[in-house]
Amino acid sequence: MSADVHRIAVFGGVYSNHLALAAAITDARERGAQELYCLGDFGAFGPNPDKVFPLLVDADVKAMRGNYDDSIARGLDDCQCGYTDPRDNYFARLSYRYTYRKTSDRWRTWMGELPARLTLDRHGVRVLFCHGSPRQMNEFLWESATSTQFLTYLGREYEADVILGTHTGIHWQRRLPSGGVFANVGVLGRPANDGRTDVWYALVDIATASGGQPQTRVEFVPVAYDHERLAAEMREENLPAEFIETITTGWWTTCLEVLPAKERARGRF
Ligand SMILES: [Fe+2]
């Protein structure tokens, strides 16, 4: 990596997967990331949400608020996840109640003070970090359902060359005609519905722009972690067997109804 490249690691939803977060922090450092970012949704799905926050603070991860964190911090009744299907909502409610009960006041306050967006300006490249989309914290931007025209509009509207988000759970990227890029960085909390137990984050290299064109490279990195240990901890916490199955198989068993047909067809269920 040349000296004029600024390398950052960007983590999506952690969903209480403290083991994957710890593994990702180590991995990102080993790969030379100079800054670490996390785009929110620290809790949900996994066990013992309070274990996540000290890892973020100790590693100096620049963190922002996702819909889950916003709900927990403000004491809302639900996670604002944006599900419409009754089964999805049943699991979302169960998970939210557990996470709410297990998050201490100290970290609730901490989350409430986080920004809803972050920016980085390096080598003439403007990077905007958001949760769902720049215009809406819980907007799902799926690869099959998001036009290049719309992403170009967002870049223009929010004055960003590079937009990075999470929220959907599945990583993807698209190069824009402007020379910029949109990337969903994936999530650390659970596998990407691809039949492997690894989770994903993004390494983003920002280089000196030439001829006024932003130069950015986004690489998705799989993270192997002790998923059996996480599954055991989830069992101890009496979390749903459906959630544990996702961790041990790599296939989603819940929150499927929000997936567009194309993304759903890649999964098992
Ligand atoms: Fe989210």
Q: Judge whether 221 and 207 are in contact, CB under 8 Å.
A: no
- What pLDDT is attached to residue 79? 92
Q: Is residue 53 part of a domain?
A: yes
CATH of the domain at 20: 3.60.21.10
Q: Checking DSSP bridges between strand 118-122 and strand 125-129, what pairing results, if any?
A: antiparallel
Ligand 1 mean position, distance from CA 81 (Å):
6
Q: Mapping DSSP to helix (H, G, I), strand (E, B) and coil, where does residue 45 land? A: coil
pLDDT at 212: 63
Neighbours of 230 (CB within 10 A): 23
Q: What is the whole-number distance in angstroms between the Cα of residue 209 and the centre of ligand 1?
A: 32
Quick one: residue 186, left, alpha or beta (phi over 0 = left, psi -120 to 50 = alpha)?
left
pLDDT at residue 170, rounded to an integer: 97
Averages of pLDDT over each 10 residues, the chain, 269 residues? 82 98 98 98 97 98 98 94 88 96 98 98 94 97 97 98 97 95 98 97 88 84 98 98 97 90 89
Taking the centre of ligand 1 as the mean of its atom positions, its distance from the CA of residue 249, in whole angstroms, is: 22
Residue 1 inside a domain? The answer is: no
Calculate how far, in angstroms, residue 211's C-alpha sits from the geometric centre of ligand 1. Answer: 36
* Assigned token pair, 135: 């215009």
- How many angstroms does the Cα of residue 1 sit away from the middle of ligand 1? 32
Residue 35 lies in a domain: yes
Closest by alpha carbon to 41, among 19, 71, 20? 71
Is residue 10 included in any domain, yes or no? yes
How far apart are the CA of 6 and the centre of ligand 1, in A? 27
Q: Total domain count for the chain?
A: 1
pTM score above 0.85: yes
Order of strands, edge to edge, in the sheet holding 172-175? 118-122, 125-129, 162-165, 181-184, 172-175
Q: Where in the sequence is the domain holding 230, given as residue range(s)?
A: 6-265
